Amino acid sequence: MSDTVVRVNGEPRSLAETETHTTALDWLRTHGLSGSKEGCAEGECGACAMLLATPAPGGGTTWTAVNACLVPVYALDGQEIVTAEGLGGPEHLHPVQEKLAEAGGSQCGYCTPGFACSMAGEYYRADRAPVAASSDDECPVHDPEHGPNGFDLHALSGNLCRCTGYRPIRDAAYTLGTPDDDDPLQQRLAQPAPAPVATDVAVGGARFVRPSSLDEALRLLRDEPDALLVAGSTDWGVEVNIRGRRAPLVVAIEHLPELRTLTMGDDVIEIGAALSLSEVEQGLDGTVPLLAELFPQFASRLIRNRGTFGGNLGTGSPIGDTPPALLALDARLVLTGAEGEREVELADYFTGYRQTVRQPGELIRAVRIPRPLARVTAFHKIAKRRFDDISSVAVGFALDIDGGVVTSARIGLGGVAATPLRARATEEALVGRPWDVATVRAASEVLGAEGTPMSDHRASSEYRALMLNTALLKLYSRTVIESKEVPA
């Protein structure tokens, strides 16, 4: 077995003889770095957060906060991480730790190291800058999601605190200044992030492989069609932790350049399947309004920093958040294998519960979104929490309205059947008809009957049908309000 090393808080640490299913969190704690905690083992509490050195878009490095409980530690071979211990200690507190202490942002302390790491990731964000206010009425301190120092509170959306309360934590975040020039972690940002390292280890009868190229990955999948593909591991990490799942062969593909493209042509937008959702959000920069509406509602920043389109679609889950939006965008998937590449409509991709047309030996290379985009779009997510939750119902809308008449309509649904699906009957009830309350009410009755919603611990079938019934009316109300806001 080749030497496998992770740089932790500036020091190299060997992975030798570590079991292949081991998460970064468990590995860190066995090495005495107990600041990272296990609160949920599902990526929902953030107590395990750490900083990962990732490539910045314009070169250099970004400190990206991720859930250590979900990342396979061998996916960090050759990489660089910083834990709460690496930020600072009692004698030399990091500015984030200092502000948390001053504001009283820690009580039992269990969640505090995770908050510190997530807060530090935002502290070092390159484009964070103070927000100017032109009057007292526009003072940014009243913005519930952004502080006067430019701190985006969504950076902490994946961190839960059960005893302190969030006000002092927010106050600490909003009083952070900018990093000093002699701050070692700030200086590190000017240097390139660690390059991906090909890894092939076998311990205890199980194997973990990070192929050096896409061709190698495809050959491996051809020879081992039952191999488990992982990118961000935000889904598989839960299976490992909660259900004790183990895979004889894991193939990590998040680093392959062919899966990390983002191109915006005149006719199509192509998104690499292994780009993290945060990278896609930053790269698109609002170009696709429907996705811009989806991203903040997808889990938390910690999850989006690792989760991918490829992973969300590859599981075939009926409750993934991206399929309804991508169905509404008429997306296509590029599937590639050792024998070649093919393109399939996303609407034809799902064949049954967690079943798809993807063949053994194939992987999702990219998502393609055709242009031009629909002019009226929306993403509705119904869940028990506004953020960081699994949807009970998700709806993606993409409509074109010309002269007051609906000329095209695509509606994607999630959580109401064994697979994500297009609401084709509702689309037919809209196209060619005036965009008015009578049409919308009639089409809403059709939408409420789409799919075969079931009752579970998240919602009853009746509730899901009701949410579908009201979704189109909600969209119509929004378009009416927006039209009145446009000056004559």
- Is residue 386 very low, low, confident or very high in pLDDT (cuts 50, 70, 90)? confident
Q: What is d(CA 224, CA 407) in angstroms, rounded to the nearest whole number?
A: 47
Write the DSSP symbol of residue 92.
Answer: B
Q: What is d(CA 338, CA 184) in angstroms, rounded to the nearest whole number?
A: 45
pLDDT value for 488: 46
Contact assessment for residue 389 and residue 314, using Cβ atoms and an 8 Å cutoff:
no
User: pLDDT tens across 5-42, in order?
Assistant: 999 999 999 999 999 999 999 999 999 999 999 999 99
- Is residue 482 very low, low, confident or very high in pLDDT (cuts 50, 70, 90)? confident
Instruction: Output the six-digit token pair for 203.
Output: 């311990």
Helix (H, G, I), strand (E, B) or coil at 9: coil
Contact assessment for residue 50 and residue 28, using Cβ atoms and an 8 Å cutoff:
yes
pLDDT value for 406: 98
Maximum alpha-carbon separation in the chain: 71
Instruction: Output the six-digit token pair for 148.
Output: 């006067």
Is the pLDDT score of 144 beyond 90?
no
Same domain as 439, residue 324: no
- Is residue 224 very low, low, confident or very high in pLDDT (cuts 50, 70, 90)? very high
Helix (H, G, I), strand (E, B) or coil at 443: helix
User: pLDDT tens across 396-425, in order?
Assistant: 999 999 999 999 999 999 999 999 999 999
Mean pLDDT, rounded, for 237-258: 96
Is the pLDDT score of 350 beyond 50?
yes
Same domain as 114, residue 5: yes
Q: What is d(CA 472, CA 413) in angstroms, rounded to the nearest whole number?
A: 12
Same domain as 400, residue 277: no
The DSSP element (H or E) to which 290 belongs, if any, is helix 289-294
pLDDT value for 140: 43
Q: Look at the chain and count its residues.
A: 488
Same domain as 404, residue 345: no
Helix (H, G, I), strand (E, B) or coil at 229: strand
**Phi and psi for 357 in degrees, rounded to 5?**
-80, -5
User: pLDDT tens across 417-439, in order?
Assistant: 999 999 999 999 999 999 999 99
Question: For residue 11, how many other CB atoms are within 10 A of its CB?
Answer: 8
Same domain as 211, residue 345: yes
Whole domain around residue 468: which residue ranges? 377-485
pLDDT value for 141: 44
Q: What is d(CA 40, CA 25) in angstroms, rounded to the nearest whole number?
A: 12
The angle that helices 95-103 and 112-123 make with each other, rounded to 10 degrees, is 120
Q: What is d(CA 345, CA 331) in angstroms, rounded to the nearest whole number?
A: 7
Write the DSSP symbol of residue 260.
Answer: S
CA distances to 33, 256, 393, 456 from 462, in Å: 48, 44, 12, 11
Mean pLDDT, rounded, for 310-322: 95
Looking at 136, 170, 193, the residue that finishes a domain is: 193
Residue carrying the six token digits 């509404």: 328
Mean pLDDT, rounded, for 455-473: 93
Q: What is the CATH number of the domain that holds 442?
A: 3.30.390.50
Q: What is d(CA 273, CA 260) in angstroms, rounded to the nearest whole number?
A: 7
pLDDT value for 139: 46
- Is residue 162 very low, low, confident or very high in pLDDT (cuts 50, 70, 90)? confident
Is the pLDDT score of 454 beyond 90?
no
**Phi and psi for 174 in degrees, rounded to 5?**
-80, -10
Helices (H) and strands (E) in the chain, counts: 16, 20
Percentage, residues of the chain above pLDDT 90: 89
pLDDT value for 133: 57
Same domain as 283, residue 144: no
pLDDT value for 58: 86
Looking at 351, 373, 395, the residue that finishes a domain is: 373
Q: What is the CATH number of the domain that holds 134?
A: 3.10.20.30
Q: What is the CATH number of the domain that holds 280?
A: 3.30.465.10
pLDDT value for 473: 96
Mean pLDDT, rounded, for 57-76: 96
Per the structure, the count of domains in the chain is: 3
Looking at 373, 398, 432, the residue that finishes a domain is: 373
Same domain as 383, residue 367: no
Mean pLDDT, rounded, for 157-180: 94
Contact assessment for residue 365 and residue 336, using Cβ atoms and an 8 Å cutoff:
yes
Mean pLDDT, rounded, for 182-208: 96
Peptide bond into 55 cis (omega under 30): no
Same domain as 148, residue 59: yes
Contact assessment for residue 142 and residue 28, using Cβ atoms and an 8 Å cutoff:
no
Contact assessment for residue 451 and residue 417, using Cβ atoms and an 8 Å cutoff:
yes
Same domain as 162, residue 36: yes
Instruction: Output the six-digit token pair for 37.
Output: 């905690």
Same domain as 155, residue 72: yes
Same domain as 119, residue 187: yes
Same domain as 436, residue 326: no
CA distances to 86, 159, 225 from 91, in Å: 13, 26, 53
pLDDT value for 117: 98
Is the pLDDT score of 2 beyond 70?
no
- Is residue 385 very low, low, confident or very high in pLDDT (cuts 50, 70, 90)? confident
Q: What is d(CA 310, CA 363) in angstroms, rounded to the nearest whole number?
A: 8
Mean pLDDT score across all residues of the chain:
94
